[in-house]
Each structure stands twice: as structure tokens, then as C-alpha cells.
Amino acid sequence: MATTLKKPVRDYIDVDFSFAKHPLSKNVSFKTNVNSVKQSIKHLLLLRSGDKPFHPEIKSPIYDYLFENGSSVVQVVLEGEIKKYLSVYEPRIEITYVKVSYTAPNDLRCEVAGTIINLQEPFTVSILVERLR
């Protein structure tokens, strides 16, 4: 019996945050599927309190733990909060793991891996958050 590849039920399409022009249509470029979800996760993890007007509850838990001591207990608590945060605000993903590490006294690296629910494609997003002052 021959197997056929099925097209995904739904394509995920988001506007590219670089707002670059498409070379042919001269319109704003789009990101699709895996790249769209990765961009969304990065955006959610870098949101600070007050970035979303009229929604102060939407903020990343990363900035609350930026100046904490880098103990293993703090890392586990932050990993759990990031999983909970992403499960609420990004329903397109199923998280495999979240890994948090303090690379310097004021630097925090966060790595999120998982699969996109509709496409069953794995992804990995890594973000470095550092305090400049």
C-alpha cells in the first residue's frame, strides 16, 4: 500500500518583525510554520511589563528572576514558570523541555524545545537576556 504525504491542516503565518519588503510583491514579508512559531516564542519571552498596552498581566517571567542567585532551585522554578507562561500564551506548541542557565552574574540563557502540534516538527529556541546597567 502506498503512503501519501498529507498537507498540514493549517499553515501558521505571521508578519515578519523585521518588516522587510518581499522582493517580488513589494509587500511586507511573512514567516510561516516553524519560523513563525519561533518568532512568537522569542517575542513572548522578551516581553516586559507594560509592553502590551491594557494587558499588564502578559509579561515574561524571565525579568523577575534576572538578578536572583543562580542556584538550581531558582532555575527549576523559572523553568516551570516559563512552561506555564508559554502553555497559556502559545497554544500552537507542545514543550519538550525548558533549560535555564545563568552564564554570568547578570546574564540568563533560556532554551526552549518542543514540537508544533499541527505539523509535528521539532524546534529549538535559545535566548540570552542580559542586564546592561
Residue type, 79: E
Q: Which domain holds residue 88?
A: 41-130
Q: Is residue 2 part of a domain?
A: no
So what's the pLDDT on residue 7? 59
Asked whether 113 and 94 are in contact (CB, 8 A), the reply is no
Q: Is residue 20 part of a domain?
A: no
CA distance 48 to 106: 17
So what's the pLDDT on residue 3? 61
Count the Cβ atoms, other than its own, within 10 Å of residue 32: 12
So what's the pLDDT on residue 2? 57
Q: Is residue 66 part of a domain?
A: yes
So what's the pLDDT on residue 8? 52
Q: Is residue 35 part of a domain?
A: no
Strand partners, 13: 32
So what's the pLDDT on residue 86? 93
Tell me the CATH number at 86: 3.10.450.40
Grid coordinates given for 11? 499553515
Q: Is residue 17 part of a domain?
A: no
Q: 62-86 pLDDT, tens per residue?
A: 988 888 887 889 899 999 999 999 9
So what's the pLDDT on residue 9? 65
Indicate the number of domains in the chain: 1
Low-confidence ranges of the chain (pLDDT < 70): 1-9, 133
